[in-house]
Amino acid sequence: MLKDKIVRVRLHKSFNEQRPMSFVGKCIAFNNYWVVVEGYGIMVTRSSKSGAQIDARPSQNAIPNTNIESVRVLPDDFDYRRLQLSTEGQQLVITVPNAQPCFIGEIGEG
């Protein structure tokens, strides 16, 4: 179902001070225990002007299902190599052309 789809995987925070983390990219494999995403990691942080730190290069990440808070399937034509972040009120979002923006985290969480 998710294989070959463009997704945003938001990770569950284990403790209150943990910075929100998401992965955006192409799902290359999944099963009942994990999801493998080839793409970029995004971490909400106060130390960046944009409000988030984005990996410089794409990588493959195997994410255990127990660490996943939510998965958002993005349009097939979404170019995850050219992420554009913006804010909507207190929310940090990825701009998705012709679709609802994709939530990353609350400003000030990181």
Q: What confidence score (pLDDT) does residue 14 get?
A: 86
> Do the domain assignments include residue 1?
no
Does the residue 28 lie in any domain?
yes
Which pTM value belongs to this model?
0.90
Q: Given this model, what pLDDT does residue 109 score?
A: 65
Answer whether 87's CB lies under 8 Å from 93's CB: yes
d(CA 18, CA 2): 27
Alpha carbon distance 97, 41 (integer Å): 20
Tokens describing residue 83: 């992420």
Does some domain include residue 102? yes
The per-residue pLDDT string of the chain (110 residues; one tens digit each, 9 = 90 and over) reads 899 999 999 999 888 888 889 999 999 999 999 999 999 999 998 777 778 999 999 999 999 999 999 999 999 999 999 999 998 888 899 999 999 999 998 876 65
As for how many domains the chain has, the answer is 1
Is 14 within a domain? yes
- C-alpha angle 78-31-6 in degrees, rounded to nearest 5: 0
What integer pLDDT is reported at residue 50 of this predicted model? 75
Q: Which domain holds residue 74?
A: 6-106
The residue among 78, 83, 81, 108 whose CA lies nearest residue 93 is 83
CA distances from 56 to 88, 99, 107 (A): 24, 25, 21
